[in-house]
């Protein structure tokens, strides 16, 4: 597994990819240990190798997003999750840039209307922040709710999309 540190303006986050595609985007300003701990669980036995060149296409699209010039990602992904998680993550990718949906909206989209809590757990397990836009999911009453990167990061991403 290859990794790099993306630094763009006030943003700093670790990103990782396999030969198949992007597999991890870390939280803003979190230490390398966030990536290492995740890799130990999802890719046991894998070796983390820094390779800024291999990660350049992913970093470039993330930087373009952070600049407000990219609204969709065209990079390949390497997701590791249950079929339920994969369905939830796929539905997140269908939320239009600059818009939000509730957890129950996502549950309805995947035709599991009673699985709102499970949807929340799957969203919390999203390994590729920003690129799979879980920041676009809010509470049914419009409130900001949990986010692996923290509510400050979620707020900043939503504001970035509103301003673009």
Degrees, nearest 5: CA angle 122-142-15: 40
Residue 3 parent element (H or E): strand 2-8
Beta-carbon contacts of 143 under 8 Å, excluding residues fewer than 6 positions away, are: none
Q: Which of 123, 134, 157, 158 is catalytic?
A: 134
Using alpha carbons, list the distances in angstroms from residue 104 to 51, 111, 112, 116, 144.
Answer: 39, 10, 9, 5, 14
Q: How many residues does the chain have?
A: 164
Instruction: Tell me, yes or no, if 134 is annotated catalytic.
Output: yes
CA 32 – CA 75 distance, rounded (Å): 23
**Catalytic residue list:** 134
């Amino acid at each position: 597994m290859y990794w790099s540190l993306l630094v763009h303006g006030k943003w700093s986050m670790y990103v990782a990819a396999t030969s198949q595609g992007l597999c991890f985007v870390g939280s803003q300003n979190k230490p390398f240990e966030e990536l290492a701990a995740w890799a130990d669980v999802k890719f046991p036995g894998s070796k983390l190798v820094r390779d800024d060149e291999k990660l350049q296409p992913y970093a470039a699209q993330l930087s373009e997003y952070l600049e407000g010039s990219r609204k969709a990602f065209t990079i390949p992904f390497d997701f590791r999750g249950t079929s339920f998680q994969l369905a939830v993550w796929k539905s997140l990718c269908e939320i239009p840039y600059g818009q939000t949906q509730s957890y129950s909206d996502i549950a309805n989209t995947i035709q599991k209307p009673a699985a709102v809590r499970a949807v929340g757990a799957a969203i919390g397990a999203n390994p590729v922040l920003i690129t799979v836009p879980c920041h676009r999911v809010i509470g049914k009453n419009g409130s900001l709710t949990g986010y692996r990167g923290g509510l400050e990061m979620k707020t900043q991403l939503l504001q970035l999309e509103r301003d673009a």
